[in-house]
Structure 1
């Protein structure tokens, strides 16, 4: 965060573009989709638009997860055109991932194509991001066993790379897929046992400062449903306000 402050305050490309991209990638890992979307949208609309092309897939993911996929389509089209020109497998893999995110019918084939292309080249980080998104879709499609396989692969890569926010986002998804994870934090078993699995996931995310809408985007719930789970969780945890969640050890 601190390393990007000066570049963002000066507003001089390309350093400001790179700083905005780095900050937005962190926001994505933490589930702050609306913040990532607004920052990237401003960057793409700025005078150094061409320098922001590598961040277009982040804009697509942020828009889709924030519930405004229509704001992602131009970025996805632009990136797809660039992928066709470069003919690089890793670029085409990410373009396929963007297409999968925007496919409301059956994104499975696009995710599979993306992973095939990732294996031809590119970075483990981007492949893990694709596996995470694929796993999220599989879990929502009630294919939990398939989802867990993809999510475990993503988690292993994120942990190996030291991408802590992305690893935690993947653990959250694995828990939503019905898996109990030992994360080494300990001490929260008694509190955690008081909550249903869904209440626990919502409470953990709320404790990090995310809004109901941001939590809903991460767990694929409506903001109202998130609020309902928090309302039920508070008396079980012996608290009366959201601000008190941060002091609890929920494991």
Structure 2
């Protein structure tokens, strides 16, 4: 859904000046930082954020990515750090290049002078620099894992230079604590080695929407 993409409101390109971009204000800011604040708050208030809230965020991200995929736009850097959120829990996808400055530890140079979000990348992207909507789906699976862990770093114990071999051998990040099996199964589908075997974003929207409704039935 286009609503889940952060639009550029205005651009200023005056001669001799650095270009400036004006973006809508999202008062809870960067999603990764928001999730980490929720984790800190959880120690005092276990109900600070519900599983339903987190799944609702995932649905919004999947909707935004589905919109991009239908228009054959590849994001290449989908992650919680490249999403923003407001006080009504509305999430929008962005990629304003600031993530590399705000979260330098999320990017690694593999010897070719190009910083990449290695821990979010599909195997074919790591090996062959091959990006597609299917590689965005892989990154979505990692983003969903970030949501369920309230902003933890994936594959934190794996050397970035070893990521490709680690993934090729079939290893993946572990199921988060308190993450339902059904939700972890969605993540696992996103990490299929064969890009053709990964779900499409519209399928993810449907699956997560049904899971969200099921959660609501028990609350």
Q: Taking structure 1 as the reference length, what is the TM-score of the superposition?
A: 0.27
More helix by share: 1
Larger Rg, first or second structure (1 or 2): 1
More strand by share: 2
Q: Which has the higher contact order (CA 8 A, sep 6+)?
A: 2
